């Protein structure tokens, strides 16, 4: 005769079901609390999270929005990559374009895809004279009469005359100047060539935006700290480290962290060595980025 199996899995009492439900509910609540704590930690340590841009110009309100319009690193897949860099800084209804990438076509395409209205540009800052930074400026020629272009001293006179001939107001920068409330151009440093960086002076620290860092990324960051007597919050742009020896790249990355930079976004000519090293050794300070990256800053 077969024995009746009283331990059958189907033989669960209603009381057991109730206890199981309570356990599952407790686990779900604990997981939700952990996710919430992680989000709070991220936002308190790193500031506002990065978001993907869509029709953002004119909608920034009190925030400053940084949008990478051109870069050779892929980030947002609908955007075109190109060797060079262009970064839009949006404050309220005003837009500053820092460098313009190598071609007007790429700049126009990516601006349209990200919702950036190039006609709202009133200021263009050219970090230095190389084609991968100035080649896209003709995308703005239709609005040249209302745009001031800041170039570092030592910039070729021939190009300045071309720009003036198109109607741009060209200003040659010799020393650190404020070009908009809490937005500065750091005095040009020599690479060669002469190169200038853009500085946003925020309540969380300095946002330092670089083109190619021919004078050296550390020299630029140290000069910004000295000039503003403030810690750097974000460093973003080209660091000119492609082809640099690994040891040198690692020392520069270590030094940026020692200088208390909160978030480091190596773009353009920074190379993969520093990106990999920061991602592995300092993931909390590494900012993954490329064309289409959007950073929101509360002022
Ligand atoms: Fe470059």
The Å distance, Cα 197 to ligand 1 centre, comes to: 13
The Å distance, Cα 102 to ligand 1 centre, comes to: 9
Asked whether residue 79 carries a pLDDT value surpassing 80, the answer given is yes
pLDDT band with cut points at 50, 70 and 90 for residue 48 = very low
Instruction: Tell me which residue of 290, 292, 284 sits closest to 114, measured CA to CA.
Output: 292
The Å distance, Cα 190 to ligand 1 centre, comes to: 15
Residue 86 burial (C-beta neighbours within 10 Å; 0-12, 13-18, 19+): buried
Q: What is the C-alpha to C-alpha distance for residues 213 and 217, in angstroms, rounded to an integer?
A: 5
pLDDT at 299: 66
The Å distance, Cα 278 to ligand 1 centre, comes to: 21
The Å distance, Cα 236 to ligand 1 centre, comes to: 13
- CA distances (Å), origin 273, targets 26, 127, 233, 264, 293: 44, 23, 22, 14, 20
Q: What is the C-alpha to C-alpha distance for residues 90 and 62, in angstroms, rounded to an integer?
A: 10
The Å distance, Cα 242 to ligand 1 centre, comes to: 11
Angle at CA 280, nearest 5°, toward 279 and 283?
Answer: 50
Residue 20 burial (C-beta neighbours within 10 Å; 0-12, 13-18, 19+): exposed
pLDDT band with cut points at 50, 70 and 90 for residue 82 = very high
Confidence (pTM)? 0.81
- Report percent pLDDT > 70 for the chain: 83
- Report percent pLDDT > 90 for the chain: 77
pLDDT at 11: 38
pLDDT at 52: 35
pLDDT band with cut points at 50, 70 and 90 for residue 106 = very high
pLDDT at 42: 40
């Amino acid at each position: 005769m077969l024995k009746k199996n009283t331990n059958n899995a189907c033989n669960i009492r209603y009381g057991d079901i109730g206890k199981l439900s309570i356990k599952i509910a407790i686990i779900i609540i604990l997981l939700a609390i952990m996710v919430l704590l992680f989000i709070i930690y991220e936002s308190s340590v790193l500031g506002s999270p990065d978001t993907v841009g869509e029709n953002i110009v004119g909608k920034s309100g009190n925030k400053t929005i940084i949008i990478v319009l051109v870069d050779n690193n892929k980030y947002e897949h609908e955007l075109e990559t190109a060797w060079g860099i262009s970064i839009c800084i949006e404050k309220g209804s005003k837009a500053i374009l820092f460098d313009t990438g190598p071609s007007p076509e790429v700049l126009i395409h990516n601006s349209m895809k990200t919702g950036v209205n190039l006609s709202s540009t009133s200021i263009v800052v050219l970090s230095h004279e190389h084609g991968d930074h100035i080649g896209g400026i003709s995308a703005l020629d239709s609005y040249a009469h209302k745009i001031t272009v800041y170039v570092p001293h030592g910039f070729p006179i021939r190009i300045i005359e071309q720009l003036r001939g198109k109607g741009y107001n060209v200003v040659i920068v010799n020393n650190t100047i404020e070009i908009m409330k809490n937005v500065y151009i750091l005095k040009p440093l020599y690479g060669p060539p002469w190169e200038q960086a853009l500085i946003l002076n925020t309540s969380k620290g300095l946002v330092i935006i670089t083109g190619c860092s021919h004078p050296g990324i550390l020299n630029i960051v140290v000069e910004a700290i000295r000039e503003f007597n403030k810690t750097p919050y974000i460093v973003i742009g080209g660091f000119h480290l492609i082809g640099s020896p690994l040891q040198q790249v690692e020392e520069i990355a270590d030094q940026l962290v020692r200088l208390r930079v909160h978030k480091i976004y190596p773009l353009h000519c920074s190379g993969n060595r520093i990106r990999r090293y920061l991602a592995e050794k300092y993931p909390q300070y590494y900012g993954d980025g490329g064309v289409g990256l959007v950073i929101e800053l509360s002022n």
